[in-house]
Structure 1
Amino acid sequence: MLESRSAIYKMINSDISSDRTIRKWPAPYSTDKTFYHDRDFSGVVRRVCAAQPLLPRISKVIVLGDVAVGKTSLVNRFCHKSFDTNYKATIGVDFEVEKFDVLGVPFNLQIWDTAGQERFKCIAASYYRGANVVMIVFDLGSLMSLHHCQQWLSDANSCNNGPYHIFLVGTKRDLLSNQVYDIVEKKAVEISRRMRAELWAVSARTGDGVPELFARVAALAFNASVLREVQSARVEPIVFGSELIKLNRETKKVRMKDRRIPKCSNCQNQL
């Protein structure tokens, strides 16, 4: 395997390319085809990132869909900027890591490219757990693959309890005329609304829409990750930096004081 294609090498390497640096909130493919209507990073997230250096964060993306819809081509276009016309079916799961810099914080996006063949479903399903983003891919030229997307989402739901973002991604946009695409898009919009997913149309061959799609995925996943951490801390989100550390230390002292066993009066007199 080439060093530049190694997931471990990418996680160790500290270099982050300019197209992986996110400072502004990425827009959706279309504002009327998304359930995520935030127009910017949360104010809490921006204040946390600006107030103190944060440890690198990791979010997991699983890519699902029928066989031959272009899942691997989509991932390769984004991760390696390449497109291979020689199709090879994925066996089990392939794993990629892409590093981002989001609001000055290192962020790793783990991309799990799963097999679409029925015989590999039991293997791939074990990797669905813990996903922060579910990306369901279909071929814009195949309505059958579009109708199967709801079942793929059901499979993901059966393995995940926590909240995650859902993307419905149509591939091979370059192969459709505008007239045919308009017809398919109407069907895709109906299904994406039932799935409560954000709809995208991209082309792995030309790269059209691919960087924008994954930038959007990274921003939403990062924003949710920091918000979860703030909420789990159980402190006022407006308190940061040294004041937050001070608050935690004082809270800990109070708790330790409450746990002390009071001495009886006889013992205190003896002392």
Structure 2
Amino acid sequence: MPSKKGKRKGGSASSNQSQNSVNSRPISSVSGVSVNRMSMYGEQYGQQYGRPFFDLILKYLLVGDSEVGKSSLVLRFGDDHFRENFVSTIGIDFKIKTVELQGKKIKLQIWDTAGQERFHTITTSYYRGAMGIMLVYDITQEKTFDNIAKWLRNIQEHANEDVEKMLLGNKCDMEDKRMISKERGENIARENGIKFLETSAKANVNVEKAFMTLAEDILKKYPQQKDPASGTGGNIKPTGDDGSGSRKCC
């Protein structure tokens, strides 16, 4: 009899150790892996697995050419930190940050995609689960601005039809090297019916405003469903999503 108790206790410790391992990883990297679309889920998921309470989860995707500063924007918003020599992302990274908005705790799951052409086969698998997409260009590099049209076509082809979009002209602190005027950014945003901001991860200009404004716009667009029996928060589900919240990678 004592041996059975000992065995059961050991199994519990192993389970706790495994769960702690999952919760201690704020950032995951994925390269060459197919991942299911991730839906939004509410408080019940957090309660079941002992994770911090949240009402909603919103999936963001950042797209744009390599070295426009996507990873730096994510790092600035997530950790309020900037690295001068940031290594270009290989594959996909994601970071999670919980914010409070409109009286709700919202978990933002921010996916940072590689901009190099050879990695586009990886990034396209993430489009359909995204509720908000940030298109990022570098105001000092003309080509990155010209390629916004290509990124918009990719979104139109692969993302949900009603995904919320925002255009970001990054590195606005480098005014002496500017090649794309603010007016040009505003014009292309207006033509495509999306919001526009100029940002700087280095100088921390408009970074938080961009992420929070996108969250506000998503909440306005999607209806929230409440489960009065469980007392959980709202579940926002993108069009065509099965709402299962399943995934194949960590």
TM-score, with length taken from structure 2? 0.67
AA aligned opposite 1:89: S
Partner residue, 1:76: 75
Mapped to 2, the partners of 1:69 and 1:7 lie a distance apart of 20
Matched, 1:14 2:34: no
* Residues 139 and 178 in structure 2, CA contact (< 8 A), matched pair in contact too: no
Give SS of 1:173's match: coil
Partner residue, 1:159: 158
Matched, 1:125 2:145: no
Mapped to 1, the partners of 2:87 and 2:138 lie a distance apart of 16
Partner residue, 2:144: 145
Partner residue, 2:190: 193
* Compared CA separation, residues 105 and 207, structure 1 to 2 (3 A): same
Q: Which runs of 5+ in 2 are unaligned?
A: 1-20, 29-45, 230-250
Give SS of 1:174's match: coil
Mapped to 2, the partners of 1:133 and 1:121 lie a distance apart of 18
4+ long deviations beyond 6 Å: none
Query: Based on CA coordinates, which of the two structures has the bigger radius of gyration?
Result: 1
Mapped to 2, the partners of 1:136 and 1:170 lie a distance apart of 9
What root-mean-square deviation, in Å, do the aligned CA atoms of Structure 1 and Structure 2 show? 2.9
Mapped to 2, the partners of 1:112 and 1:88 lie a distance apart of 16
Partner residue, 1:224: 221
Deviation, 1:105, is 1.9
Flag the structure with higher strand content.
2
Identity across matched positions, percent = 31
TM-score, with length taken from structure 1? 0.62
Query: 1:58-98 deviations in whole A, cap 9, x for unaligned?
Result: 11111000010000001101001111112211111111111
Flag the structure with higher helix content.
1
Matched, 1:205 2:243: no
Give SS of 1:75's match: helix
Deviation, 1:155, is 0.6
Deviation, 1:223, is 3.0
Partner residue, 1:116: 115
